[in-house]
Amino acid sequence: MMRRLLVAMTATGALAFSACSAEEASVVKTAFEQDIESADVTVALSMKSAQGETGLALSGPFKSNGEGKLPSVDWKLRLDGVMPRPIEGRVISSGDDAFIEYGGETYQVGKDKIAQLGAAGAGSGMESADLAKLMGKMQDWFPQSDAQSDASLNGEAVTRITGKLDLSEALKDMKEMAKQPGASSFEGLKQLSEGDLDQVEKMIADPTFTVDVAQSDNKLRRIAARMTIEDESGEKGTIALSIQLKNVDKPVTITPPASGRPLEELMQKLQQDFGATVPEETTIS
């Protein structure tokens, strides 16, 4: 999960970089080139419509264990709006194993499953080559952008980059890039027709982003994005995502449980609690 969050952060940072002047772009580029060894992470995702609101909240410490390894985390998780009542839990990883706390019990993913997931994930996601290709296609994606050098976030001085995305240009360029060898992150876009792209563009309005870079160490502190969605019936909704990093590179303590119940029991528990259909083979992503 953390790898995917960092991928999303990296992609959004690349978008911001393309929208800035040379000096501002250098600030963002430097931030995304630097590794973050540890941090307190807060993620908030909300989707609002006339039917209600769905939200995902995640928070807790993160510690890198090196390239290609599962990071150590201790994250509290809350999901609202999907089920009749909120789902609350805790995810803990040690680098080679992971645990989930739910309903007063601790469940263990298992080192064998983590190893399998690591092998299956090798080479997947957004690779550096993909980002390099994106960088050359972004000049026309941002008709509006701004930089504020005297902003602050959580008491820290930050350089704040804000912008508005030209979704039409972005979708067309990403679809074209998906046709080229090595663009591993955009395979699904190959199947989209021009009609599909037009439909997506009609549904999404005002996609904006904000990137905050700390002036003390030139490292990332926040990425936020927001957009409005309107379906064929004219009903509107909003999607907002925020990823914040505090106490960057400061020591964190993460102590995983010694053991836990089999993960299959958690799947059965969720099915009992919420009537969810649980697949025979469950994976963690």
- Retrieve residue 125's tokens: 């996601």
Place of tokens 């995502």: 241
Helix 2-19 with 22-33: angle, nearest 10 deg: 170
b/e 193-220 (16+ beta carbons within 10 angstroms → b): eeeebeeeeebbeebebbbbbbbeebbb
pLDDT at residue 140, rounded to an integer: 58
Tell whether 163 is covered by a domain: yes
pLDDT at residue 250, rounded to an integer: 95
CATH code of the domain in which 7 resides: 2.50.20.20
Query: Residue-wise pLDDT tens for the chain (285 aa)?
Result: 444 444 454 555 554 544 455 555 566 667 777 788 999 999 999 988 888 889 999 999 999 988 778 899 999 999 998 777 888 999 999 989 999 999 999 999 999 988 887 665 544 444 444 544 554 555 556 556 678 888 999 999 998 988 777 777 777 777 776 666 555 555 556 666 777 777 777 788 888 888 899 999 999 999 888 888 887 777 889 989 899 999 999 999 999 999 999 999 998 988 888 775 444 444 443
Domain extent at residue 137: 2-274
Tell whether 60 is covered by a domain: yes
Strands annotated E in the chain: 38-49, 52-63, 72-80, 87-93, 98-102, 105-108, 144-153, 156-164, 204-214, 220-230, 236-246, 261-262
Tell whether 284 is covered by a domain: no
Tell whether 279 is covered by a domain: no
Tell whether 285 is covered by a domain: no
pLDDT at residue 26, rounded to an integer: 65
Domain count, the chain: 1
Tell whether 283 is covered by a domain: no
Closest CA to 133 of 32, 8, 11: 11
> Strands 220-230 and 87-93: what pairing?
unpaired
Tell whether 87 is covered by a domain: yes
Q: What is the largest CA-CA distance in the chain?
A: 56
Place of tokens 């979708």: 171
| C-alpha span between 189 and 31 (Å, rounded) | 29
Tell whether 281 is covered by a domain: no
Does pTM top 0.85 for this prediction? no
